[in-house]
Chain A
Amino acid sequence: MIRSEILKDIAPILRDQLVVCNIGIPSQELHAIDDQPTNFYMLGTMGLASSIGLGLALSQPKPVIVIDGDGSILTNMGTLPTIANNVANNYILMIIDNGSYGSTGDQPTYTGKKTSLAKVAEACGCDRVIECRDVDTGRVLQEALDSGEMTVMVVKCDSGNAKMPVITMDPVIIRDRFMKAVAAE
């Protein structure tokens, strides 16, 4: 499966949750598949989805799912020790690991070679780290939500992108409707 197929598969689970989505094609795909006010789309700033999601999870009680990528985690590798040492049990970091920089033309990343992000996350001190196959994403994500424990998922999948339109929504509108969804009862 490629990322867009996984996102279609898990859209019913994501729909009712706060989601922080990675820059570029991942956000375009999520936006096209199931736009929700509970989705925060990153339009720039590669690497910071996991950090934004952690700050959000530490500041309010609702579950937060971060849809990140292997390339973005490699860009901001310092995020994993911060996550491990500031435990937020309402935080799920789902790394879609397709071994490539999808938004820029599928150039290979090191996770498609010798580097294991699951082992990195464990070495950084993350307690609940689960590497899974693309077809198991929905089950593992639901189990992570049900566990009530901070979880790092590494979803191994194929490289490739769906053709989706760019997001033209104003960033302040994305942010404002997201904050209202966060604050809603």
Chain B
Amino acid sequence: MSIDKKIADDLVANDISFVTTVPCKQLAGVIEEIEHRDEIFHIPSNKEDEGMGLCAGAWMGGKRPAIIMQNTAIGVTINTLATLIQYYRMPLPMLISYRGELREPVACQVEMAVHTKALLAQMNIPTYHFHKQSDVEELDAILKYTFMCNKPVAILTDANFWGGYGDQ
């Protein structure tokens, strides 16, 4: 089974039915997979903080949300994470393309990569790093954990996990 299908299956199995996305090349496959799932309402966002607002509303409306975005968005969403998602204590799985790691071809991506884990740690956000394809086996447990504790939870997925950025 492809990683993209496995991720979508885990989202559906955990009753996640509202997914917002801001694209990244590494995420293209999983975004396409989600777009085709009948169980998931896919709503593209123009910016990641907007997406988190949509997710907050969806959750208060009774749906389980998730956001799919690039790690550069951590720089965009610090205020939203602190004053909306964490302050009102809302669950939010964040599937994050971890650009700027090993096998990255674009130098500028490294500039946010070096801050990504430090920022997430500063925010007390539980953070998981998928580096090998087999790491995806933990996704189901991470999603259950997220909705157990009502917190934003980060799942960083690097180029090695996706099979190499330049190799796609």
> Using a Cβ cutoff of 8 Å, how many contacts connect chains A and B?
112
Which B residues, 42 to 60, have Cβ-Cβ distances below 8 Å to chain A?
43-47, 49-60
- Cα A58 to Cα B45 in complex, Å, equals 14
- Cα A183 to Cα B59 in complex, Å, equals 11
> Contact: B88 with A171, CB < 8 Å?
yes
> Contact: A55 with B79, CB < 8 Å?
no
> Contact: B87 with A48, CB < 8 Å?
no
- Cα A172 to Cα B47 in complex, Å, equals 25
- Cα A169 to Cα B46 in complex, Å, equals 32
Query: Would you call B5 an interface residue if the criterion is a C-beta within 8 Å of the partner chain's C-beta atoms?
Result: no
Residues of B within 8 A of A76 (CB): 47, 49-50, 53
Query: Would you call A52 an interface residue if the criterion is a C-beta within 8 Å of the partner chain's C-beta atoms?
Result: yes
Known: A45-B80, A78-B45. Is A51-B54 also a contact (CB below 8 A)?
yes
Which A residues, 59 to 92, have Cβ-Cβ distances below 8 Å to chain B?
59-60, 76, 78-79, 81-82, 86
Residues of B within 8 A of A178 (CB): 60
Min Cβ gap A160→B in Å is 26
Min Cβ gap A106→B in Å is 23
Query: Would you call A57 an interface residue if the criterion is a C-beta within 8 Å of the partner chain's C-beta atoms?
Result: yes
Residue of B nearest to A86 (CB): B43
Q: Residue B50 contacts which of A59, A60, A79, A183 (CB distance < 8 angstroms)?
A: A79
> Contact: B62 with A174, CB < 8 Å?
no
- Cα A20 to Cα B45 in complex, Å, equals 19
> Contact: A59 with B53, CB < 8 Å?
no
B112-133 CB mask vs A (1 if < 8 Å, else 0) is: 0000000000000000000000
> Contact: A45 with B79, CB < 8 Å?
yes
> Contact: A182 with B50, CB < 8 Å?
no
Query: Would you call B3 an interface residue if the criterion is a C-beta within 8 Å of the partner chain's C-beta atoms?
Result: no
Number of interface residues of A (CB under 8 A): 34
Q: Residue B46 contacts which of A48, A49, A78, A174 (CB distance < 8 angstroms)?
A: A78
Interface size class of B (residues with CB under 8 A): 20 to 34
Q: Residue A58 contacts which of B41, B50, B52 (CB distance < 8 angstroms)?
A: B41
> Contact: A55 with B89, CB < 8 Å?
no
Min Cβ gap A84→B in Å is 12
Query: Would you call B40 an interface residue if the criterion is a C-beta within 8 Å of the partner chain's C-beta atoms?
Result: no
Min Cβ gap A2→B in Å is 26
> Contact: A82 with B50, CB < 8 Å?
yes
> Contact: A171 with B46, CB < 8 Å?
no
Query: Would you call A44 an interface residue if the criterion is a C-beta within 8 Å of the partner chain's C-beta atoms?
Result: yes
B-side residues, CB < 8 A to A, are 18, 41, 43-47, 49-63, 65, 79-80, 82-84, 87-90
A-side residues, CB < 8 A to B, are 20, 40, 42-45, 47-60, 76, 78-79, 81-82, 86, 171-172, 174-175, 178-179, 182-183
6 nearest interchain CB pairs?
A55-B57, A51-B53, A44-B83, A59-B61, A78-B46, A48-B53
Some 19 contacts from A to B, beta carbons below 8 A apart, are: A44-B82, A45-B53, A48-B50, A48-B80, A50-B53, A54-B57, A55-B18, A55-B60, A58-B43, A59-B18, A59-B61, A76-B49, A76-B50, A78-B45, A79-B46, A86-B43, A172-B89, A178-B60, A182-B60
